[in-house]
Amino acid sequence: MNNLLDSFSNFSYRNKNFIFLSFLILPLLWLGIVYLGSLLIFLGHSFFHLDGFTGQIVYEFSFKTLIELFSSPANIDILIRTVALAACVTIGSAIIGFPIAYYMAKFTSPKVKIFLFIAIMLPLWSSYLVRVYSWKLILAKEGIINWFFEKLNLEWLLDTILSTPVIGGPSLSISYIGMFLVFTYIWLPFMILPIQASLERVPNSLINASHDLGANKRQTFYKIILPLALPGIIAGSIFTFSLTLGDYIIPYIIGTSKFFIGQAVYTHQGTAGNIPLAAAFSLVPIVVMVVYIYIAKRMGAFNAL
Amino acid sequence: MLKALNLKNINKSYGPIRALDNINLTASDGEFFSLLGPSGSGKTTCLKVIAGFEAPDSGVVSIFEEDVTNIPPFKRHVNTVFQDYALFPHMNVRQNVGYSLKVQKIKGSSMDRKIDEILEIVNLTGYDLRKPSELSGGQRQRVALARSLINKPKILLLDEPLGALDLKLREKMQVELKNIQRQFKITFIYVTHDQQEALSMSDRIAVFNNGKIEQIDTPANIYSKPINSFVADFIGTTSIFDKDSAMKLFDLDKAFSVRPENVVILETKEDLATINKQQYYITNGTVTDCQFQGSHLKVTYLIDDKCKLRVFKSLEGNINQKYDINTKHTIAWRKSDITTLNE
Tens of pLDDT, residues B163-210: 888 888 888 999 999 999 998 899 999 999 999 899 999 999 999 999
Phi, psi of A76 (to 5 degrees): -60, -40
Residues A17 and A74 in one domain: no
**Neighbouring-strand partners of residue B63:** B5, B66
Q: Which of B211, B234, B257 is the last residue of a domain?
A: B234
> Which residue among B80, B102, B104 sits closest to A212, beta carbon to beta carbon?
B80
- Establish if A221 touches chain B: CB-CB under 8 angstroms: no
Distance from C-alpha of B289 to C-alpha of B311, rounded to nearest angstrom = 10
Distance from C-alpha of A186 to C-alpha of A251, rounded to nearest angstrom = 13
Chain B positions in Cβ-Cβ contact with residue A303 (cut-off 8 Å): 90
Give the distance from CA B28 to its chain's centroid. Answer: 18
The stretch A100-104 carries a mean pLDDT of: 95
CATH number for the domain spanning B221: value is 3.40.50.300
Compute the Cα dihedral for A90, A91, A93, A98 and give only its sign. Answer: positive
Q: Which domain does B53 fall in, by range? A: 3-234
CB pair distance less than 8 Å for B73 and A228 = no
- Establish if A205 touches chain B: CB-CB under 8 angstroms: yes
Q: Is residue A220 part of a domain?
A: yes
Distance from C-alpha of B94 to C-alpha of A215, rounded to nearest angstrom = 17
Written as one letter, the residue type at A12 is S
Q: Is residue A107 part of a domain?
A: yes
SS3 per residue for A185-227: HHHHHHHHHHHHHHHHCCCHHHHHHHHHCCCCHHHHHHHHHHH
**By the 8 A CB rule, do A184 and A96 touch?**
yes
Please report the pLDDT score of residue A60 as a whole number.
86
Confidence of residue A305 (pLDDT cuts 50, 70, 90): low
Q: What is the ipTM of this complex?
A: 0.84
Distance from C-alpha of A225 to C-alpha of B32, rounded to nearest angstrom = 34
CB pair distance less than 8 Å for A214 and B86 = no
Q: Is residue A137 part of a domain?
A: no
Residues B213 and B317 in one domain: no
Tens of pLDDT, residues A110-159: 999 999 999 999 988 889 899 999 999 999 988 899 899 889 988 888 88
Chain A positions in Cβ-Cβ contact with residue B51 (cut-off 8 Å): 208, 212
What percentage of chain A has pLDDT greater than the value 90? 45
Nearest residue on chain B to A230, alpha-carbon basis: B90
Residues B223 and B278 in one domain: no
Question: Any idea how long chain B is?
Answer: 343
Degrees to nearest 5, angle at CA A39 with A38 and A41: 65
Confidence of residue B107 (pLDDT cuts 50, 70, 90): confident
When divided into structural domains, chain A yields a total of 2
CB pair distance less than 8 Å for B148 and A203 = no
Residues B186 and B329 in one domain: no
Residues A101 and A208 in one domain: yes
- Establish if A203 touches chain B: CB-CB under 8 angstroms: yes
Q: Is residue A179 part of a domain?
A: no
State which H helix or E strand residue B289 sits in: strand B280-292
Residues B205 and B290 in one domain: no
Tens of pLDDT, residues A56-70: 888 888 888 888 889
**By the 8 A CB rule, do B62 and B210 touch?**
no
- Is residue A304 pLDDT above 90, yes or no? no
> Which residue among A205, A219, A227 sits closest to B86, beta carbon to beta carbon?
A205
Residues B203 and B98 in one domain: yes
Question: Any idea how long chain A is?
Answer: 305
Tens of pLDDT, residues A250-280: 999 988 888 898 888 888 887 778 888 999 9
Q: Is residue A161 part of a domain?
A: no
Tens of pLDDT, residues B18-54: 999 999 999 999 999 999 999 989 999 999 999 999 9
pTM, full prediction: 0.81
CB pair distance less than 8 Å for B90 and A203 = no
- What is the CB neighbour count within 10 angstroms for residue A226? 12
Please report the pLDDT score of residue B28 as a whole number.
94
Tens of pLDDT, residues B286-296: 999 999 988 89
Residues B113 and B203 in one domain: yes
Please report the pLDDT score of residue A1 as a whole number.
63
Residues A194 and A273 in one domain: yes
Residues B149 and B246 in one domain: no
Q: What is the side-by-side order of every strand in the sheet holding B280-292?
A: B263-266, B328-334, B280-292, B296-303, B307-314
Return all residues near A59 (Cβ < 8 A) that are at least 6 apart. A48
Please report the pLDDT score of residue B343 as a whole number.
62
The stretch B282-306 carries a mean pLDDT of: 90
Q: Which domain does A77 fall in, by range? A: 70-122+189-298
Helix and strand numbers (H, E) in chain A are: 16, 2
CA–CA min distance B251, chain A (Å)? 54
Residues B176 and B282 in one domain: no
Nearest residue on chain B to A226, alpha-carbon basis: B90
Tens of pLDDT, residues B205-252: 999 999 999 999 999 999 988 888 899 889 888 888 888 888 888 888
Residues B212 and B261 in one domain: no
Residues A193 and A278 in one domain: yes
Chain B positions in Cβ-Cβ contact with residue A213 (cut-off 8 Å): 74, 79, 99-100, 103, 147-148, 151
Please report the pLDDT score of residue A237 as a whole number.
93
CATH number for the domain spanning B266: value is 2.40.50.140
> Which residue among B53, B103, B151 sits closest to A208, beta carbon to beta carbon?
B53
- Is residue A175 pLDDT above 70, yes or no? yes
CA–CA min distance A219, chain B (Å)? 7
- Establish if A222 touches chain B: CB-CB under 8 angstroms: no
**By the 8 A CB rule, do A53 and A70 touch?**
no
CA–CA min distance B238, chain A (Å)? 37
- Is residue B142 pLDDT above 70, yes or no? yes
When divided into structural domains, chain B yields a total of 2
Confidence of residue A6 (pLDDT cuts 50, 70, 90): confident
Q: Which of B234, B253, B282 is the last residue of a domain?
A: B234
Nearest residue on chain B to A204, alpha-carbon basis: B86
Which DSSP string do the residues of B140-204 spell out, in sequence order? HHHHHHHHHHTT--SEEEEESTTTTS-HHHHHHHHHHHHHHHHHHTPEEEEEES-HHHHHHH-SE
Q: Is residue A156 part of a domain?
A: no
Q: Which of B179, B203, B234 is the last residue of a domain?
A: B234
The stretch A200-227 carries a mean pLDDT of: 94
Chain B positions in Cβ-Cβ contact with residue A210 (cut-off 8 Å): 88, 99
Residues B151 and B93 in one domain: yes
CATH number for the domain spanning A216: value is 1.10.3720.10
The stretch A40-55 carries a mean pLDDT of: 86
Residues B69 and B216 in one domain: yes
Interface of B with A (CB under 8 A): 51-53, 72-74, 78-80, 82-84, 86, 88-90, 99-100, 102-104, 147-148, 151
What percentage of chain B has pLDDT greater than the value 90? 59
Q: Is residue A39 part of a domain?
A: no
Q: Is residue A147 part of a domain?
A: no
- Establish if A209 touches chain B: CB-CB under 8 angstroms: yes
Residues B229 and B253 in one domain: no
Nearest residue to B74 via CA among A88, A222, A212:
A212
Give Cα separations from A26 to A8, A19, B124 (angstroms).
21, 13, 51
Please report the pLDDT score of residue B255 as a whole number.
87
Please report the pLDDT score of residue B229 as a whole number.
85
